[in-house]
Chains A and B, each alone.
Chain A
């Protein structure tokens, strides 16, 4: 199968720091992939390079057979790469409905905006909160609203940057079910610290450390990988296995 996304020698320096260091990465269509690694490993920088929020110092990014290395962020979104922010970044003074409508209205001129918006809100369980001001919603609901905005973009690749951070256990269970459902028609790239979420969802896991890929494999392979255990997982393996 041809990969949906590949990067070749992708690098990004900040001053002397190599945040992302010659990363070769590839992602198959339909996959749920998790990227894990200690803080400062370069995970967010890596996905920011993919979605175009920052430009690489070196290397190439290919999405669906097309070189997108120099493409501005908004054009990558139009190709189907959606990014949901690590720090909740909804439009706080607009209603939940308007937040999703903004995501939906651009490309979907054929369909009624109202129907499309309500569908995305229903899938995330927020339909009853359409009129609420986004900034006044509970934190967990704001995270879900981020996901609803991502969904409304009808992405081919949905990048979720620490989506469960700050959610309760109950909310996390609902979130896992939601991502499984999303993955039926989109590829999901997930940065996540919660090992339970990672082991439940990911078909393959990429481990990053100091800007490089340390290991890659199935959840079982990653659990059994000694280098990974030393670098990162530590006690977490015992806790989840």
Chain B
């Protein structure tokens, strides 16, 4: 049973994290300031992945397509159709929702390993399309959204996304929104049904739930969050390339979520942050940095089998959402 005290603590913790990140925006040195802005956007990608993998228990190996469809949805409309930043952003988000609905309807006919393969195949098709239509996407090389387009005119004032502070605060705003939405989902009846499907789908059906419809909602919500991260990435960092559609960008969110703790609200952010810095620091010492990353991952799995926050919740803080 969720006691009221536990839920009060949980909400307070999330607000403290958001306030802490806001404060850091004013004191961090330039380099880490930039890193954290990027990590917050990528954490939105991870949080989207967590909805489907952590809560509903569906392991997708194709989430790169959702991030990338947001990225291209914003980038292509802005570059080729001359759309403004808000319209481009909206295009990315909507494209993500539509793609997730289509892929979900087809991929959810399968479960388990077949679901992993089917989502991966869809994602590979998307990746190959970004290469095939290189006349518009310029494939691997990618597109750069001109600096002049990455901003928003509000009357006399101009919001310039290339300005580090503006970029940081916009990333934080998006991160905070998706984090609180995830908390809302986790604590809602819908979240409880997703967990029930993960634990025992047959039983959930016999409680009167249309498990297909619930799983499809989870895919659409998950895909939309990931596409939102992609669209924001295009606007804030200005680069749109097919690398983001490649299979490694399907693996990353899985790793981030596993590291931080699946089905925890803050785990995806923690995992993304940790992984980013491990790669960053290790690559400063050796070109074989993936070896160090691999060793660290093994240690983490040994001592934190449910990810950092998942293990903390299991052993010490039962109220952690």
Residues of A within 8 A of B (CB): 51, 53, 72-75, 77-78, 82-83, 85, 89-95, 97-98, 101-103, 105-107, 113, 130-131, 149, 153
Contact = CB atoms under 8 A, between A and B. Distances in A.
Contact of B199 (A72, A78, A92): A92
Interface string B1-12: 100000000000
B108 to A, nearest CB: 15
A152 to B, nearest CB: 9
B208 A91 contact: no
Contacts of B209: 74, 106
A94 B199 contact: yes
B79 interface: no
A75 B212 CA distance: 13
B204 interface: yes
Contacts of B200: 89, 91
A44 B39 CA distance: 54
B32 interface: no
Contacts of A89: 200, 202-203
Given A85-B203, A149-B207, A105 B189 contact: yes
Q: Which of A89, A102, A149 has the most CB of B within 10 A?
A: A102
A74 B192 contact: no
Contact of A74 (B1, B189, B196, B205): B205
In the complex, which of the residues B200, B203, B205 has the most CB atoms of chain A within 10 Å of its own CB atom? B203
B208 A74 contact: yes
Contacts of A103: 207
B193 interface: yes
21 contacts: A51-B206, A73-B205, A74-B210, A74-B211, A77-B206, A82-B206, A85-B206, A89-B203, A91-B203, A93-B199, A94-B195, A94-B196, A94-B199, A97-B1, A98-B1, A102-B192, A105-B189, A106-B207, A106-B208, A113-B189, A153-B207
Interface of B: 1, 189, 192-193, 195-196, 199-200, 202-211
B185 to A, nearest CB: 14
Contacts of A75: 208
Given A92-B199, A102-B193, A105-B189, A78 B208 contact: yes
A130 B1 contact: yes
A102 B188 CA distance: 11
Given A94-B199, A130-B1, A101 B206 contact: no
Contacts of B204: 102
A85 to B, nearest CB: 7
A105 B211 CA distance: 15
Nearest to B199: A91
Contacts of A107: 208
Nearest to B209: A74
A105 B192 contact: yes
Contacts of B203: 85, 89-91
B196 A73 contact: no
A102 B196 contact: yes
Contact of B196 (A91, A95, A97, A130): A91
A98 B191 CA distance: 11
**List of 5 A-B pairs having minimum Cβ-Cβ separation, nearest first:** A77-B208, A97-B1, A105-B189, A91-B199, A131-B1
